[in-house]
Each structure stands twice: as structure tokens, then as C-alpha cells.
Chain A
């Protein structure tokens, strides 16, 4: 089976970005870090090219980390392998209450 490719640029990141087309539910994705070390994640739903998959469980209200910094908070519990985007991530900026 051909493995798909995702990139995690910082050791602290809990999401990786998928750079393969046609990543479907139950597909295996090889996650590379900046040194080239690999781990494998099975995705629970389709993840489009350039979109993110969780590489660790993220509790509702916890920070979603990419580039070693917070890009938002989880609005529900997220499992390793879940697709992460605007449906389960809320920006911490520009919401009018911050």
C-alpha cells in the first residue's frame, strides 16, 4: 500500500499538514519531522492536500499547536488521526472578545 505524506515542522506540534492528494478515511499517512524522522498516523476521515491531521489527542479547549505556536483552540475533543480545520478549531484572535 502506498503511504501518504505529511509534515510536522516543530517537535511540539500536535498537528501535521498533509501533502498528498486523495487521502481517504482509514488511509495511513507517514508524518515526517524537520529532521526526516517518520511516524505513521491512520486518518479517521478524508484530509485534503494542504490540510491538517491531529498527531496527538487534543482535549476540547486545549491549544492546537503548529510551528511550535498556538494557531487556535480545540472546540471539541480531537483524536489522533482526526481532520483538524475550522469545524473543530477556533481562532484565538479577531473574535471580538479578545
Chain B
């Protein structure tokens, strides 16, 4: 089975052909935004990191920006650097250059300020867009797909309808030799023992327990016990009887195949296949960035109450489990899985519809959030304090 994608010089395959304008630090955002506004075919990542952070976080931010630049949905890169930032903007340029994709950089302090950097950036981005805009899509095997998964603004329908649909697609992709990545470590709490049983090796099972414990320890260092009081009184009123049930509902979106390993937040997929976990928070701006930097060409996103936003370079397909929400928010929701909970269609039928939608989107069809550029609020997940 094939989809229509863009062949990259490093052998990866993109579902989009954007020129990415990457600010190396928050202070370069305004210049990057001006370039993105002016030049067609560009997307920007307006994050808030890159300076006055501890060295491990600065490295994490640089690694994440490298992953975004190397992502196959990006055909060329312009790095917008301030000059004195804490991230390693030179390494960013070098890492992207190694993929064989065109990369350029502008430096605000060297060029003499914002207006000059904007002018130089527009010229550079214009050249990059023209250079890659003639590239044609080619049929490529589905084994080249890296799909990411997430749920947000969930309700009682999510665990039973939309998450089961996404789980169906995840299993189908794994069986086709593709890669599937899911995250949201906080949602493993209470079901990590069940998740660990799906680990391909005992080491991977151990890693699953480790990332859950690490995340809980971070909360404990601020005096919060994330396990206590779960499920919440609101959950119980909604029908959830135990923490296992709550977490399993979330985990259903990963399907049922063996878990091959655990990725750290800035890790990229090189040639790994099958189902993988990435240690991410659940909040959208950070997890979407983490998944795009993995190299995912697409995301299936489950929602019940209606989470509308996407990501600049990674199409996000919204699968809505609640029929009333779908009715009200049709211009933000890509697929109605609410037909499952009113008995009109089975999980497998809607699963096939979701797979067909994924294939169309990978081959160029825009998602609802892509078409209206509802994707600019993004960020990078860091661990330490801002100093």
C-alpha cells in the first residue's frame, strides 16, 4: 500500500513540503514571524525557549529544533538567530545540512538589527521556497509513515469511541511495517503495569516504569502526589470506577501491538519501526512539538469536548468521539467517531474511515486546522527553571 509523498535526500519521505523558519531563541520570534507572513510556503515555530536556562535544557532545546528542521515534512530551513542565545544555532544549521536539504541562516545582531534581518530573511526564504516548490509527490510505501498519537479535551466518549478508532489505525499501520509513536506519560499512571506487559523486551518494560516514576518524582518535588485522589470525584460521577480504567481508556489509542522502546523528548526516529513511546507531557503545545521533532508526518488526535489546534508542519487529524461536539464544531473536527456511541457504525468501520482519511492527508489533503492556520501556539518542553 502506498501514499503520495516527497522524497528527501536522506531517504525520508515527507507528507508536506514546507520551508521551516526556525527561531533559535524566543528573542528572534518577531523577525521570524515577519518572514513567515511575507513568504508563501513557509511555516514558523514560535517557541519561548533558548536562553537563560540550565545547560541540559539548552541542549534539549537545540536537539528539538534540530529534529524539527530534519523532519521530512520540511523541505528546506531558514534559521533565524539572535547571536547571543544559549542554544547552539551553529549545530542546528550543521545538523539540518547533514540531511542534504537546503539550509540558510540570518543573524539579527550581525546584520544590524530587526529590519535588516527581516529583509535578509525574506530574500533567503524566497530563494528556498522557489528552490523546493517544484518538487513532485511520488508513490511511496506505507512503511515510510511515522504517525503520532494524542488525545486532548477528552470526555466520557474518548476512551470508548475515538481512542479505540485510533488504536485500530495504529495496529493497522504497525502491521504494514510503519512506525507509530504515542506519549503522554502522565496518562500511564495506574496502568503502567499493563502497558509494561506489552513491552517487546523486559528492558523496555523497565523503562516504562522508570519514565512514569521520573514524571511522578518531578511532581513530588513540588509537593504534589499525582496518584492521590484518582480517579477524581468528577471521573467517578462520569462512570470511571478506578485509576486503571481511566488510564486504560487513554492508552487504548496506542492499539494493542508490542512496544519496541522508549524515546526521550527530543529524539528523532531514524529507522525504527513498530510502536514506540515518547516521554512527553500531555499539554498540546509541547507534545505536538515533541512528536513533530520525532519526524512524524502526521498525527491522529482524539477529542471529546473539542480540541481545535494543530501544528505548523505536521497535519493533525481530529477524531471526535462525541457526536454533539462534532455537530457543533464541524469546522475544527476532521472525523466523526461519535457515530460509534449512538450505534450507527462499529469501531472497525470508523477505524477504516480514519485510515482512509490518514492516507488522504498524508498524500496532500489539508486538515481543518491546517486550512485555517490554527497552529501557531507551540512550545518546547523543558525541565529546569528559567534563570
Contacts and interface: CB of A to CB of B under 8 A. Distances in A.
Nearest to A8: B160
A69 B167 CA distance: 15
A52 B239 CA distance: 7
Nearest to B168: A34
Interface stretch (B82-90, B202-210, B276-284, B335-343): B335-343
A34 B164 contact: yes
B194 interface: yes
Contacts of B28: none
B347 interface: yes
A82 to B, nearest CB: 13
A94 B243 contact: yes
Contacts of B241: 52, 64, 71-72, 84-86, 89, 91
Mostly, the A contact residues are loop
Nearest to A70: B244
Contact of B194 (A52, A69, A85): A69
B227 interface: yes
B248 A36 contact: no
B190 A9 contact: no
Interface string A30-71: 101111100000000000111110000000000010111111
Contact of B227 (A33, A36, A90, A94): A94
A50 B244 contact: no
B239 A50 contact: yes
Interface in A84-98: 84-86, 89-94
Contacts of A5: 341-343
A41 B274 CA distance: 38
A64 B242 CA distance: 11
A40 B376 CA distance: 48
B164 A9 contact: yes
- The interface centre, meaning the residue of A50, A84, A90 with most chain B CB atoms within 10 A of its CB, is A50
A35 B243 contact: no
Contacts of A93: 190, 193, 242-244
A38 to B, nearest CB: 9
A78 interface: no
B175 interface: no
List 5 A-B pairs, minimum CB-CB distance, nearest first: A36-B346, A91-B242, A50-B156, A50-B239, A51-B239
Interface of A: 5, 7, 9, 17, 19, 30, 32-36, 48-52, 64, 66-72, 84-86, 89-94
